[in-house]
Structure formats: C-alpha cells, structure tokens
Structure 1
Amino acid sequence: MLSRTADHLFWMARYTERAENTARMLDANYQLALVPQSDEYAALGWRAMLSISELAEIYAAAHPSMTSRDVIAFMASDRDNLSSIVNCLRAARENARAVRGSITTELWETLNTTWLDAQRMLADGVLERDPCEFFEWVKFRSHLSRGVQLGTMVRDEAFYFMRVGTFLERADNTARILDVKYEMLEQHGGVSVQPVAQSLDYYHWAALLRSVSGFEVYRKVYRDVIVPERVASLLILFADWPRSLAASLDELTRIIKHVRNARSAQAEAMIAQLHAHVCAAQIGDILRGGLHLWLTEFLVRINELGSCISRDFLVPLAPEEGPSAEVPLASQGLSQSQSQSQSQSPTQPHAA
C-alpha cells in the first residue's frame, strides 16, 4: 500500500477515536459539575482536563475565566481549537475523502453524514440546550464508524492501518482520562488507595467509569464499592476490557504483524516493549511510585511509538521551513508533544 494512502486511513481512524474520547472527557466533567461542590473544586476539574490535554495555555489566551460553558464550547465547537470535536470530525471526513477508493461506500457515508450532522446540531444550539445529548451522539457515531469498518471492510492493509490508528489513539486518550482524575486529587490533597466512603468522591469515580463505558464492567469484575486502586487497575491492566491500556496494546501487537515491512523492526520492538511493560505492571507498584508519573511516562512512550510508526509506514514529516510553514490537517489538533513526534506531509491540505 502507498504510504500516503496508509497515512490518510491511519489519521481518519485516529481523529474519529479522538473525537469520541474528547466527548467522553467532557461528559465526565460535565456530570461531575452537576454534583454539589465548591466552585473552586469544579473549576479544578476543568483545569485538570485542559492541562492533561495540553490545551490550558491556548484556552487561557482566549478565555479570562474557567467556566463549564466556556470549556465545553472550546473543546467541542471552537473552530480555532484544532483539537475540538468539530475539527476532529472534519479532519476524519477529509482524510476519508482523500482515500475514497480505499474505503467502502458505507464507511464514507457514515463519516460524511457525521460531519454534516455535527454542523447542524451545533448550529441548532445543542451545546447550550443539552451538552450530554451531543456527547452521546459523538460516541454513537464513533461506534457506528467502527462497526461499519468491521462489517464492510476487507481484512487487508487498509483495514489494519485504520485499526492501528484507532488503538494507538485509544491508549493515549484512556491514559489522559485517568490522569485527569488523579491530577485533581493530587492538587486537592493527594490520592487514597483505601475504600472511599464520601459520597462526593464516589460520584466522581462513578462518572469517570461511565465516561469510558466502564461502570458496569467494574461492577461485574469487582462486585464491590468503587475505590481508586481498582479503577486504575481496570483502565490500565484489565486486558479483557477493550478500552484498557493493556487491551489496546494487545491489539497493536497483533495488528502490526499484518502490516510489517522491511523498515518496521523498530516499531515492532517498541510495541512489544511497551506491551510487556504494561502487562508486567502491578497496580500497587504503580500507585506507590506515583500514578501521574507512570501515566506521563506512558504517554511519552506511546507518542514515541506513534512517531516511529509514522517513520516506518506513513508519510514522513518534512523539515520545518519557518513559522509560516503549512500545517497538514493530519497533524492539526495534536498536542505540542504529539505534533513533534508524529510525522505528516506538509504538502497536502487534508492529512498526508
């Protein structure tokens, strides 16, 4: 497969997954904001989410205060925020359009309709009326996109590059979603690994689990009260649940074998090492060493892996030619660290 085609497919899937996970983070924080609490603690949740997403400085430059309404608009519908949901959906659609012949008609129509309907819903004021309705819709459209992929695509390289993009993005975002909560706790007095009796904290952890579709899974696996240690264990180590870090790396390890080439030895080794690192981890050791530190290291390694995959399989990033150099759509919306580590072509307007 041409590396340019693979690049478009990879980023089409990543942007779809990113839109879903941004909706999940916003939904969790919005639900938490409805729980009785101090204004300071509510603002801390939004600030932590922006910090973990590496968007705090960009937000602060445009907004003087930290309110739920402003953060939701910034993360969901702001055209100037390249990481917003609406921009991710646009980027996914443009990447799909660029490789229209490599995907099925059903998949193209799904992504195109998602983009058109998103614009209509935002114009109708859904964020002001009921933000949760929009977040649920974004998640549903992402599920639909993956279902159409699985139900209509041939299991060839095109299919596997989409899957690589999906699980690489999911691993990154699951780590960020978990880190948001622990970042809040550390700023508010530290993390306890003992059973939590306070009702407020229970609702916070329950909202986090629901944000990753893990509440019912937690109840089924642990059959006990919600405690931070088990939530972290579920999101990091429980390989039988498809949104955990271990499950995402399991999939990447399996999929990379279908697209390997003469240059991919380093990427395969990095995936194997990161997979082994996660599978060998014990949640007690992770928490004693500091979960935030562990997740930060994981995010660095997953971004390095993304950079390596880009070098080995996709379109390499041309050297910057100065501040006016064009930013390709595929790399728009990445955090600063991600944009430095992912490789895209600056010559095309839609991703690669």
Structure 2
Amino acid sequence: MLARTASYLYWIGRYMERAEFTARLIEATLRLDALSARPAGQAAWSSALSVAAAKQDFERTGESLTPSNVANYLVFSKDNPNSIRNCLYTARMNARAVRTALTREGWESINRAWLGIDARSAVGSAQGTINLLEALIAENRGFEGALHRMLRQENFYFLMLGESIERTDNTARLIDVKYHIILPEGEEVGGLVDRDQWGTILQTVSARTAFRWLYRDGLSPRRVVEMLVLRRELPRSIAATVDETVSLLTDLGRLTGYQGEADRMARLRQQRINATHIREIITGGLHEYLQAFIEENRLLSQAITKQFRFD
C-alpha cells in the first residue's frame, strides 16, 4: 500500500471519530447547562471550547459566549479546523481519494454525514441542535459498522488505528470536561448537581447502563473515572483503546514489515496503564494525569506518521 493511501485512511478514521466526539461534547454541554435552575452557563461553554482546543480561536471572533454562538462555531465554522463541518469535509475528500480502499457502505456513511451538515448553516433551538447532533452520531455509528465488516487487510487496520488514536484522546478530553465545569454557587461536591454532571459524562459515551452493571453501589466520581480510564470492559475506556492500538500496530507490522518507535511507545504506555491504580490517578491529580496522557498520545501519533512514512 502506498504511504499516501495509508495516511488518507488513518486520517479518515481520526476525522470521523473527531466529528462524533465534538457532537457528543456539544450535546453533553447542552445537557450540563440545563441541569438545574442555576446552570453552569458560560463556564460550561467556555470549558467545551477549552476541551475542543478552540477557546483562543473563538475569542478572536469577538462573539459573545452564548450556547448558540459556541455551538455554531464548533459545528459549522469554516475558520475552526476541528469543527464538525471541516472534519467531515476533510474525511470525505480523503475518502474520495482512496474510494477503492473503502466499502460502499463506508463511503456512503461518510457522504451522508457530510450532506446532512452541508445543507445546514446554523444550529436552531436546543432540541433542534440535539436532533442534528444525534443524526451525525448515528451516521458515524453506521461508518463504524461498515468498518467492522471490512476484510482484515491494511486498509482496515489503518482506518481502525486512526479511530483508536483519536478515541483515546477524546475519552481523556471528555473526562477532563468535568474538571473544567464549575459547580453552580451553593452546590456541593458530591451533591445532586455534581452527580448529574458525572452522569452526563457517562451518557455521552453511552455508558450509563454499563456503569450500573459494573458498580452496584451507586454513582461516584471515583468510580466513573475508574471505569472510563481503567476498565477494559468498556470499549471507549482509555485502557481498552490503549490495548487496541498495540494490537493494531502489531497487525500492521505483520502485514507491512514496518515496526519501530511507535510500537515501542504503544507497548510502554500499555505497561504503564496496566500497573496504574485509580488511587494513584486521584492522588496525583486527575487533570494532570489526563493532560500528560493527551500529550503522550500526540507524540505517539507523530511516531506513527514517521514509522509508516505518511509525510
């Protein structure tokens, strides 16, 4: 396989996963903002921009920090490189360049997602925005389903590798949403609003039911973090995606003959998370742990780019 083709496939996986994450992030923020009579308000939307690495760029627009302005920026803005529109546009252009490496179902999912957002120019009401986001998430699930029906060849593994690297990053950023969200004045840590905020984080990764299966004695921040970081039973957990990345790199090494720094970094990361206990994460600082992990994931992606000669 040509290095350019491999690069296109890897980034299709990343951009499709990023579009879904941004949709989930906006949906989570809408729900967090509406939790109580004293919602988080601007703090919630400011945190969404921070987690999406778009806060400084948004501030340069001079627009006020309102739900509609932030949602429009994260969904539609052509000036935001990580907006859902730009992610789907780039994924579609890459897919057109490697059309024969995708199944018909995979291409159609990408194309439908793009056409669904290209026909819109702004979000509507809160419910209308949620409806749009849910439609985009559904198309991405269709894309994931198409991936899993592909032959286990290089094109499949590069698509999955991009998705896995992006999902690892997104789960860490999603957990970090809660670090940035400020409880409304008068609300206590561990109180009803605090628990609702953590519950909303679970909802964005479709893990409410999974949490009840794994933990019988009620919701707590410690258990939510443990499940999303360390429990491999949850496919979107950090530990599960770390394992998946190692497996995908091993399969690609077998097929392509390329093995190197990316494999070493991925296995070391896997060893570290295998030896990590939730107590260490909480004691050392959840925010610090997640930020260090996000940086490590960025460096691993660079190593993948070099190892498979994407540039």
TM superposition score normalised by structure 2: 0.93
Match of 2:128 in 1: 130
Any idea what SS the aligned residue of 2:181 has? helix
- Are residue 5 (structure 1) and residue 2 (structure 2) matched? no
1:201 maps to amino acid: D
| Equivalent residue number for residue 79 of structure 1 | 78
Please tell me whether the aligned partners of residues 63 and 70 of structure 1 are also in contact (alpha carbons under 8 angstroms). no
Match of 1:291 in 2: 286
Distance 1:47 1:214, change over 3 A: same
How many correspondences in the alignment? Answer: 308
1:126–1:134 CA contact under 8 A, matched in 2:
no
Q: Is the 8 A contact 2:9 2:95 kept in 1?
A: yes
Contact 2:195 2:221 in 1 (8 A): no
TM superposition shift of 1:264? 2.5
Residue pairs, 1:91-130, within 5 angstroms: 91-120=90-119, 122-123=120-121, 126=124, 130=128
1:321-340: CA deviation from partner (whole Å, max 9, x where unpaired): xxxxxxxxxxxxxxxxxxxx
Where do 1:163-174 residues align within 5 Å?
Answer: 163-174=160-171
Amino acid at match of 1:258: D
Aligned AA for 1:286? I
Q: How far does residue 185 in structure 1 lie from its aligned partner after superposition? A: 5.0
- For residue 55 of structure 2, what is the aligned residue in structure 1? 56
**The residue matched to 1:130 in structure 2 has which SS?**
helix
| 3-state secondary structure, aligned to 2:152 | coil
Match of 1:308 among 294, 303, 308: 303
CA distance 1:74–1:126, shift in 2 (3 Å): same
Unaligned runs of 5+ in 1: 317-352
Secondary structure of the equivalent of 2:41? helix
- In the alignment, the residues of structure 2 paired with residue 233 and residue 185 of structure 1 have an alpha-carbon distance, to the nearest angstrom, of 21
Q: Distance in 2 between matches of 1:63 and 1:210?
A: 32
Percent of counterpart pairs with the same letter?
Answer: 33
Partners of 1:93 and 1:226 lie apart in 2 by: 40
Q: Which residue of structure 2 lines up, in the alignment, with residue 140 of structure 1?
A: 138
Distance 1:284 1:42 in 2: 32
Q: Distance in 2 between matches of 1:213 and 1:64?
A: 32
Rate the CA distance shift 1:287–1:60 in 2: closer, same or farther, 3 A: same
Distance 1:292 1:186, change over 3 A: farther
* Superposed displacement of residue 225, structure 1: 2.1
Tell me the distance in 1 between the aligned counterparts of 2:104 and 2:139: 16
| Aligned partner of 1:161 among 155, 158, 163 | 158
Unpaired runs of 5+ residues, structure 2, are none
Task: Provide the aligned C-alpha RMSD in A.
Answer: 2.1
C-alpha spacing 1:203/1:164, structure 2 compared with 1 (3 Å): same
Distance 1:166 1:309, change over 3 A: same
- Residues 150-203 of structure 1 show CA distances to partners (whole Å, capped at 9, x for unaligned) of 12x2110000000100110000000001011023259989x96xxx2x221121
Corresponding residue number in structure 2 for 1:36? 36
Deviations 1:239-284 (A, max 9, x none): 1110000010111111111111555321100000111112211111
The aligned residue for residue 202 of structure 2 is 209
Q: Secondary structure at the match of 1:15?
A: helix
Offset at 1:149? Answer: 1.5
User: How high is the TM-score relative to the length of structure 1?
Assistant: 0.83
Seen in structure 2, the aligned counterparts of structure 1 residues 247 and 187 have a Cα distance that, compared at 3 Å, is: farther
Matches of 1:64 and 1:22, distance apart in 2: 20
1:160-239 superposed matches below 5 A: 160-184=157-181, 196=190, 198-239=191-232
Assess, with a 3 A threshold, how the Cα gap between structure 1 residues 226 and 129 changes in structure 2: closer, same or farther: closer
